[in-house]
């Protein structure tokens, strides 16, 4: 009995252009002379280098360790010598450089010792081992797999979905991977089920991939438990995680929530393949299948080492004259690259070479005519025309109220807009502005907290010093009073204690004065000695007169 499917709202049917690249066999790219491996290939903290310039590294050797929980390690894709660690151009929407480790390969492709992982360890330990294997999502978001494999406080995630939708035009790497490596993908799914405690596995594949569907159906027969390969309609963006969840289960992920909050976790089939190789062969994530298509002579899928210049992939597929730009990803969600020499990263699923014939420039954007076609096409059930208005007027608060961050940037709204407005660009701009304001706010809050704590610390130190001084003064006062009145005598009142303190102070002053020796009194002449004696006599006489009692009248 076939599974009941559900229909998410919106979606479009752009030309697929799948046949150009999925009919050729997979080729491995040659080892490039230079590998440029970015330290930030995933969401979260960038990996931290653990090698130095001049070190020789082996293929599969960890060269940067994960920094925290939401992070993943980075490994050498081939053997060679580290020649630089620093900023290099990387595939990123900002076009800014990022820290990379540059390896000059030696051509020997010498592996570091590989040790399969032990599945009998506890789940937390296995997840950390997968983090150190560099596992990250290959579906586009690049989220560290170790984090997604944590079921959370519930301890289980009932439904595991493998996403083989691959709905975006031109991209066929997942299709080809399922055709040739279905057994390994299923092995990865079994490990995911063990880590998540899932009761069922659903593998969603779009109907335009019949060979992949047949291969996966044959592979799952070896897997025990509830597992089903489900053919879903070919509609863009049906391969999005939230859309695949709704299609297969009828459930919607609430705004601001994660799929695990409704008991579902989604992984790309490429992630399952990499996971199985990490566990059973001890191979970290150092390569992936990449579709090279568009304006090239031989569109195909290639097995590319992470860090390989994308120009190497283009050369392998046959570069042609007339290239206008190169995009990483598909025409709907891909990002234009600053140049073809940027490296392949874990999130690189496609290198799309564009030309004026295949991808003509868009006409000039016209004013919005409020036709609401964008709202009809939006799979996230948003109001794109309102989000555009708020983003354009910099009303970021209202944009958030209209659930800006629920936008998956699929490009359906821009695709159907009759005014040719680049709506997704406005949404990305608004998101980046909000993130920047949040970063500034966090920095200001941290500075305020530090200032308040410093003021508190200074006041605390001042109070502690005052208390210590008061305690010492009280102790000294008690000691002097006891000395003046005698150790056995206790002062009758505060007045007596004060008188005793005054008397003791006067006695100390007199003793100090008596002990003071006059200066420059040695080797005096007789005249100087007589003059000093006369002064002392006058001083004694004055002192005696001062202490005579005054006469009083009767």
If you search the block for the tokens 């035009």, which residue do you land on?
Answer: 169
> At residue 1, does pLDDT exceed 80?
no
Q: Which of 253, 282, 311 is the last residue of a domain?
A: 282
How does pLDDT run across 143-182, given as a tens digit for each residue?
A: 899 999 998 888 899 999 999 999 999 999 999 999 999 9
Ordered DSSP codes for 480-547: HHHHHH-TT---SSHHHHHHHHHHHHHHHHHHHHHHPPPSS-SS--HHHHHHHHHHHHHHHHHHHHHT
> Residue 336: CA atoms inside 13 Å, Cβ hemisphere, count?
10
Give me the CATH number covering residue 494: 1.10.1060
Give CA–CA dist 374/385, Å, rounded. Answer: 7
Which strands sit side by side in the sheet containing 350-355, from one edge to the other?
27-28, 300-305, 287-294, 350-355, 323-328, 335-336
242 and 379 part of one domain: no
- Of 241, 266, 282, the position where a domain reaches its end is 282
With b for 16 or more beta-carbon neighbours within 10 A and e for fewer, the 170-208 pattern comes to bbbbbbbbbbebbbbbbbbbbbbbebbebeebbbbbbeb
Mean pLDDT, range 434-463, rounded to an integer: 91
Q: What is the pLDDT of residues 225-248, one digit of tens each?
A: 889 999 999 999 999 999 999 999
Q: What is the 3-state secondary structure (H, E, C) of 424-470?
A: HHHHHHHHHHHHHHHHHHHHHHHHHHHHHHHHHHHHHHHHHHHHHHH
pLDDT, one tens digit per residue, over 251-261 is 999 988 889 99
Residue 142 is predicted with a pLDDT of: 82
Q: Classify residue 10: in a domain, yes or no.
A: no
Q: Within 13 Å and on the Cβ side, how many CA atoms surround 515?
A: 6
What distance in Å separates the CA atoms of residue 222 and residue 186, rounded to the nearest whole number? 9
Question: Is residue 127 within 8 Å of residue 150, measured between CB atoms?
Answer: yes
pLDDT mean over 82-96: 92
Q: Which uninterrupted H or E stretch holds 182?
A: helix 182-196
Q: What gap in Å lies between CA 204 and CA 245, rounded to an integer?
A: 9
* Residues 145, 267 share a domain: yes
Number of domains making up the chain: 2
Q: State residue 514's pLDDT score.
A: 66
Same domain for 378 and 510: yes
Q: What is the pLDDT of residue 490?
A: 52
pLDDT of residue 549: 63
| Alpha-carbon gap, residue 305 to 288, rounded angstroms | 7
Is the same domain home to 276 and 162?
A: yes
φ/ψ of 231, rounded to 5, equals -85, 125
Confidence of residue 553 (pLDDT cuts 50, 70, 90): very low
Using an 8 Å Cβ cutoff, are 76 and 58 in contact?
Answer: yes
**Residue 493 or 512, more confident:** 512
SS3 110: coil
What average pLDDT does the structure give for the chain? 90
Distance separating alpha carbons of residues 132 and 118, to the nearest angstrom: 14
Q: Would the CA dihedral through 47, 52, 58, 61 be positive or negative?
A: negative
Residue 265 included in any domain: yes
**Of all residues in the chain, what percent carry a pLDDT higher than 90?**
74
Q: Using CA atoms, how far apart are residues 349 and 165, in angstroms rounded to an integer?
A: 13
| Residue 256 burial by Cβ neighbours in a 10 Å radius (0-12, 13-18, 19+) | exposed
Residues 135, 278 share a domain = yes
Q: Does residue 347 lie in a domain region?
A: no
Same domain, 276 and 367: no
* Number of other residues whose CB lies within 10 A of the CB of residue 270: 27
437 domain-assigned? yes
- Beta-carbon neighbour count of residue 8 at 10 Å? 21
Residue 244 lies in a domain: yes
Strands 62-65 vs 74-75: parallel, antiparallel or unpaired = antiparallel
Clarify whether residues 137 and 269 are in a common domain.
yes
pLDDT tens string 303-349 = 999 999 999 999 999 999 999 999 999 999 999 998 899 999 999 99
Mean of pLDDT values over 444-467:
91
pLDDT at position 150 is 92
CATH assignment at residue 270: 3.40.50.11540
What are the residues facing 327 on neighbouring strands? Answer: 336, 352
| φ, ψ for residue 414, nearest 5 deg | -65, -35
> Is 525 within the bounds of a domain?
no
CB neighbour burial string for 490-519, b if at least 16 within 10 angstroms, e if fewer:
ebeeeeebeebbeebeeeeeeeeeeeeeee
Q: DSSP secondary-structure letter at 295?
A: S
- CA nearest 205: which of 176, 184, 170? 176
**Residue range 447-470: mean pLDDT, rounded:** 91
Question: Do 146 and 268 reside in the same domain of the chain?
Answer: yes
The residue among 70, 543, 92 whose CA lies nearest residue 339 is 92
Are 136 and 277 contained in the same domain?
yes
372, 275: one domain: no
Residue numbers of the domain that contains 151: 124-282
**Do residues 270 and 405 share a domain?**
no
Q: What burial letters (b/e) apply to 442-455, b meaning 16+ CB within 10 Å?
A: eeeeeeeeeeeeee
Q: Is the pLDDT of residue 488 over 70?
A: no
- Give a yes or no: residue 182 inside a domain: yes
**The pLDDT of residue 554:** 45
Contact (Cβ atoms closer than 8 angstroms) between residue 288 and residue 304: yes
pLDDT at 409: 93
Contact 79, 106 (CB under 8 A): yes
pLDDT over 80 at 502, yes or no:
no
- Provide the 3-class DSSP secondary structure of residue 273: helix
The pLDDT, as a whole number, for residue 510 is 74
242 and 382 belong to one structural domain: no
- In three-state secondary structure terms, 361 is coil
> What span, in angstroms and rounded, lies between the C-alpha atoms of 183 and 203?
13
pTM (2 d.p.): 0.81
Residue 296 forms part of a structural domain: no
Q: Is the dihedral of CA 140, 144, 146, 150 positive or negative?
A: negative
**Buried b / exposed e along 323-345 (16+ C-beta atoms within 10 A):** beebbbbbbbbbeebbebebbbb
pLDDT score for 426: 95
Q: Phi/psi class of residue 265: alpha, beta or left (left: φ > 0; alpha: ψ in -120 to 50)? A: beta
Question: Strands across the sheet with 34-38, in order?
Answer: 34-38, 98-105, 80-88, 56-57
Instruction: With a cut of 70, say whether residue 551 has pLDDT above it.
Output: no
DSSP conformation class of 260: G
User: Among 222, 255, 282, where does a domain finish?
Assistant: 282
352: CB partners within 8 A, 6+ apart:
170, 291, 293, 294, 326, 327, 328, 329, 330, 331, 334
């Amino acid at each position: 009995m076939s599974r009941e499917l559900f229909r998410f709202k919106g979606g479009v049917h752009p030309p697929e252009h799948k046949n150009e690249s999925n009919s050729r066999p997979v080729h491995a790219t040659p080892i490039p002379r230079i590998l440029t491996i970015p330290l930030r290939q995933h969401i979260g903290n960038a990996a931290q280098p653990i090698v130095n310039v001049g070190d020789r590294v082996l293929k599969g050797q960890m060269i940067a360790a994960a920094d925290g929980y939401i992070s993943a390690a980075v490994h050498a894709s081939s053997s060679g010598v580290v020649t630089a660690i620093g900023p290099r151009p990387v595939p990123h929407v900002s076009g800014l450089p990022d820290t990379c480790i540059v390896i000059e390969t030696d051509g020997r492709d010498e592996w570091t010792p590989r040790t399969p992982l032990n599945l009998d360890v506890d789940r937390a330990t296995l997840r950390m081992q997968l983090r150190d294997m560099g596992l990250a999502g290959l579906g586009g978001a690049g989220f560290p797999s170790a984090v997604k494999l944590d079921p959370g406080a519930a301890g289980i995630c009932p439904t595991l979905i493998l996403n083989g939708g691959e709905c975006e035009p031109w991209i066929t790497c997942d299709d080809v991977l399922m055709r040739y490596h279905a057994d390994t993908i299923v092995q990865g799914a079994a490990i995911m089920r063990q880590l998540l405690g899932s009761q069922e596995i659903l593998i969603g594949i779009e109907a335009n991939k019949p060979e992949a569907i047949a291969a996966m159906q044959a592979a799952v027969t070896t897997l025990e438990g509830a597992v089903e390969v489900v053919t879903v309609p070919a509609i863009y963006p049906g391969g999005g995680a939230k859309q695949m969840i709704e299609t297969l289960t009828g459930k919607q992920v609430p705004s601001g929530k994660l799929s695990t909050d409704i008991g579902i976790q989604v992984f790309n089939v490429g992630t399952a393949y990499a996971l199985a190789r990490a566990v059973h062969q001890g191979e970290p994530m150092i390569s992936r299948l990449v579709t090279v298509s568009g304006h090239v002579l031989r569109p195909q899928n290639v097995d590319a080492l992470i860090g390989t210049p994308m120009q190497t992939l283009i050369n392998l597929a046959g570069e042609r004259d007339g290239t206008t730009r190169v995009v990483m990803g598909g025409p709907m969600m891909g990002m234009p690259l600053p140049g073809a020499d940027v490296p392949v990263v874990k999130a690189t699923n496609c290198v799309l070479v564009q030309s004026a014939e295949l991808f003509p420039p868009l006409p000039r954007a016209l004013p919005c005519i409020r036709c609401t076609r964008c709202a009809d096409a939006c799979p996230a059930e948003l109001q794109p025309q309102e989000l555009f208005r708020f983003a354009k007027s910099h009303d970021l608060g209202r944009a958030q109220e209209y659930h800006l961050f629920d936008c998956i940037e699929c490009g359906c709204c821009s695709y159907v807009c009759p005014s040719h407005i680049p709506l997704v660009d406005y949404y990305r701009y608004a998101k980046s502005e909000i993130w920047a304001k949040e970063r500034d706010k966090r920095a200001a809050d941290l500075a305020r907290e530090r200032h308040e704590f410093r003021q508190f610390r200074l006041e605390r130190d001042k109070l502690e010093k005052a208390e210590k001084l008061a305690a010492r003064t009280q102790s000294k006062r008690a000691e002097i009073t006891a000395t003046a009145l005698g150790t056995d005598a206790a002062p009758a009142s505060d007045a007596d204690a004060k008188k005793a303190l005054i008397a003791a102070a006067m006695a100390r002053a007199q003793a100090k004065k008596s002990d003071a020796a006059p200066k420059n009194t040695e080797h005096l002449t007789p005249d100087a000695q007589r003059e000093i004696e006369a002064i002392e006599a006058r001083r004694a006489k004055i002192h005696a007169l001062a202490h005579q009692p005054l006469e009083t009248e009767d």
